Amino acid sequence: MAERIVIVGGVAGGASAAAKARRMSEDVEIVMFERGPYMSFANCGLPYYVGGEITRRDALFVTAPETFERWFGVDVRLSTKVTDISPSARKVTFVGPGGKPDTLSYDRLILATGTVPIVPPIQGIDGPNMFFCRTVPDVDAIMKRLDETLPREMEGKREIEGGRLLSGEDTGVCALVIGGGYIGLECAEQLLRRGVKVTVVELMDQLMGPYDREVTRPVQGALERAGATVILNDAVVGVETVGDRSSATLKGGRKIPFDLSILGTGVRPNVELAKNAGLVLGKTGAIAVDERQRTSDPAIFAAGDNCESILLPTGDSVNIPLAGPANKHGRVAGNNAALDLMGAGYADPRRLKMGGVLGTSIVRVCGVVVGGTGLTEKAAKQAGIDIEITYVIGLNHAGYYPDAKLMGIKLMYSPESGRLLGAQAVGRDGVDKRLDVLATAIQGGMTVEDLEQLDLCYAPPFGAAKDIAIMAGFVSSNARRGTSPGISPTLIFDALASDTPPLLIDVRSRREYEKDHLKDAVNIPLSDLRARMGEIPKDRLVVVYCTGGYRSYLAQQILLNLGWKDVRNLYGGYSLASLVQEMDGN
C-alpha cells in the first residue's frame, strides 16, 4: 500500500504543497481536503471581480479540481472539513458533504489551514447586509446584493484617474467598509467604480496600519477625491437593519446608513487543529516551524498563513499572511514531506529550505499606489532597532517624456553598516518596479552604497538615467559619508518647536514661496544664495528645503563648502513636509 500525504487546505499553500509533492514522487498517495466548495482560487482577485475589472467569474480559479486531479493525481475532496488530528495514531477525522464523520490515516500531514477573519464585537454584525470578501461564496453574496440594490438603468463602471471619478452616475447605493487595510481599500475602490457611495471607517489614526503614516496619507487623499468618506480614530459599535437597509452607529455617535458593508478588519492564523493536536505555537500565535516547514511533530508540516516565517532584516519570527510566502511555504513543505516518504536523509541535497521573508506588499487605491518591503520606521521603533531614514522624491520615468508622475521612496537602513532594512514607496506608475528592486537588494544584504552602483535599464518611457531607486542610494550614502546630512520631515517640526530652533530656509523662487511655504521659513532663492550669505548665521543649525530636495541639496553644498558647519537638507522637501504638517496640524 502506498504511503500517504494528507493536506488540509486547498488554496495557495495547500495546492502548492500537493503539486510539489507529486513532482517529487509518483509513488506517494496524496489526499487534499478543502473545507470550501472551491480550491486554488485567487483570493487577491476577489475585489476586482466585485468592481468589474475582472469580468469573468471563472477567471478567479487558478486550477479546476478536475484538472488538478488529472495533472497531479491528487485526490481532491472539496466541501470537506477536517475536525480533528490524532498525531499518535497519525489519523485525521473529517466530515464530508454527506455530514458523516470519517477518518483517514497519514504518513505525513501538511496543514495549510490559512486564516480566519477577526470579527470585532459589534452588535448586529451578523446582519443580512454584512459581508466578508475572502472566498468565492463571499463574493457571490456581495454580487447578489449589488444586483438587488444597483439600479440597472444607472449602473455604469466609472474609471478613476488620479483619485478623481471620470464618468458614471451616482447610483444612490451606499456601502460601509469597516477597516482600512488591503482588502477594505481594494473593495472601497472597486465599489466606487460601480457608482456606490463609500464610507471607510478605521479604528487607527491612519489607513494601511502596518505602513508609516506619512506614506499612507496620499491614499486617503485619493479616496476622498474619488468621493469616499474616510473616518479615522473611530469604530462601529452597533448595526441595525430595518427592512432592506442598515445603519451603523460609531463609537463617536455618528450614524451611517448603508445598503451593504464589507468587513475588512483583519485576519488571524487558523491554528485550532494544530493547537488541539498539541503542536507548538510561536510567539505570534501561528504554528512554529523550522526552515523546512516541519512543526514540533516530525510527521506534520505547516504552510501558508497559519505558520510563522523569519523576517530577514531582524531574524525574528513573524506571521505575514501574504500569497507569495504561502506559495513558497507550500512548495517547501510538499517537497520535504515527499522526500521523507522516499527515504531521503535530512542532509539530502534535494531538501528545500524556506528563506526569510520581507512582507513585500503593494496596493492600488483610486490611482495611487503604495507599497513596502522589510522594516518600517514604526516596526523598528517597536523592536528597538537603530535605523537611519531618508526620503527621495522623483519621477517614474524621464521628465521630458510625456506623463511623468511623481513618486516618493522612504528608505530605512542601518547607520552602522549601511545595510538596507526596509523601504516604502508611494506614487502611480512604476512603484512596483522600484519596490521589487529594493526588496531584492534587502534580500541580498546590500548596503545603501551598493544601491549607488546598480545598473538598471533605462529608456525615456521606462525610467531615468538616474533612477529614483539609485537616487535613494545616492541620498542615503551621502548622508552616511557626512557630505549631505539630512533631516526627516517627521522631525523638523519638533526641532522648530524646541528651545534652539534651526533657521529654516526655503530656496525655491519667490513666486513658489508666496504661493505656499512652511511656517517660520525664510525665503532665500537658490539663485540669490551667494549674494545673501550675510543673512545666514554660522552658529546655528540651518535647514534648507525646496520642492523635492535637489535645489536644497545644491544650496547645502554651497553653504558647507563656504564654511557653514551644520546644514541639513530637508528630505522630501516641501512636498513631503507639507503633508506631514497637514497630518499633525502644525
Q: Residue 174 is which amino acid?
A: C
- 90 pLDDT more than 70: yes
**CB–CB of 469/438 below 8 Å?**
yes
**CB–CB of 446/421 below 8 Å?**
no
pLDDT digits (tens, 9 = 90+) for 276-332: 999 999 999 999 999 999 999 999 999 999 999 999 999 999 999 999 999 999 999
Report if pTM > 0.75.
yes
**Helix, strand, or coil (residue 524):** coil
Q: What is the pLDDT at residue 166?
A: 58
**CB–CB of 281/150 below 8 Å?**
no
**Helix, strand, or coil (residue 5):** strand
- Three cell numbers written together for 216: 499612507
- 24 pLDDT more than 70: yes
Q: How many CB atoms are located within 10 Å of the residue 141 CB?
A: 17
**CB–CB of 331/338 below 8 Å?**
no
Q: What is the pLDDT at residue 150?
A: 85
The span from the CA of 146 to the CA of 138, in Å, is: 13
- Three cell numbers written together for 213: 503614516
- 511 pLDDT more than 70: yes
The span from the CA of 368 to the CA of 364, in Å, is: 6
The span from the CA of 210 to the CA of 361, in Å, is: 10
- Tally of CA atoms within 13 A in the half-sphere of 455 that contains its CB: 0
Angle between helices 12-24 and 65-72 (to 10 degrees): 20
| Nearest-10 Cα torsion for 8, 14, 19, 20 | -100
1-21 burial, b for 16+ CB within 10 Å, e for fewer? eebbbbbbbbbbbbbbbbbbb
- 164 pLDDT more than 90: no
- 368 pLDDT more than 80: yes
Distance of CA 312 to the CA centre of its chain: 16
**Helix, strand, or coil (residue 359):** coil
**Helix, strand, or coil (residue 255):** strand
pLDDT digits (tens, 9 = 90+) for 453-508: 999 999 999 999 999 999 999 999 999 999 999 999 888 888 888 889 999 999 99
Percentages helix, strand, coil for the chain (3-state, rounded to 5) are 30, 25, 45
In the chain the first and final C-alpha atoms are separated, in Å, by: 73
Rg over CA atoms, the chain:
27
pLDDT digits (tens, 9 = 90+) for 396-440: 999 999 999 999 999 999 999 999 999 999 999 999 999 999 999
Q: Of 38, 115, 1, 9, which is closest to residue 333 (Cα–Cα)?
A: 9
Strands 368-374 and 361-365: antiparallel
Q: Residue 539 is which amino acid?
A: D
Q: DSSP per residue over 48-75, as a string?
A: HHHHTSS--GGGGBSS-HHHHHHHH--E
Beta strands per DSSP E along 202-296: 229-231, 236-242, 245-250, 255-258, 260-263, 267-269
Q: DSSP per residue over 277-311, as a string?
A: TTPPB-TTSSBP--TTSB-SSTTEEE-STTB-EEB
- Three cell numbers written together for 115: 486564516
pLDDT digits (tens, 9 = 90+) for 389-408: 999 999 999 999 999 999 99
Residues with Cβ < 8 Å from 44, sequence gap 6 or more?
A: 323
- 165 pLDDT more than 70: no
- Three cell numbers written together for 282: 510561536
Q: Return the sign of the alpha-carbon dihedral for residues 194, 45, 323, 280.
A: positive
Identify the H or E element spanning 486: strand 486-487
State the average pLDDT for the chain. Answer: 94
The span from the CA of 229 to the CA of 220, in Å, is: 9
Q: Which structural domains are found in the chain, ordered by start?
A: 4-115+268-341 (3.50.50.60), 130-265 (3.50.50.60), 359-481 (3.50.50.60), 484-586 (3.40.250.10)
Identify the H or E element spanning 317: strand 317-318
Q: What is the largest CA-CA distance in the chain?
A: 91
The span from the CA of 380 to the CA of 316, in Å, is: 12
Q: What is the pLDDT at residue 493?
A: 85
The span from the CA of 281 to the CA of 556, in Å, is: 53
- Of 149-158, 371-380, 414-423, 434-443, minimum mean pLDDT range: 149-158
- Three cell numbers written together for 422: 526596509
Strands 486-487 and 503-506: unpaired
- Hey, which residues are catalytic here? 546
Q: What is the pLDDT at residue 465?
A: 92
**CB–CB of 443/419 below 8 Å?**
no
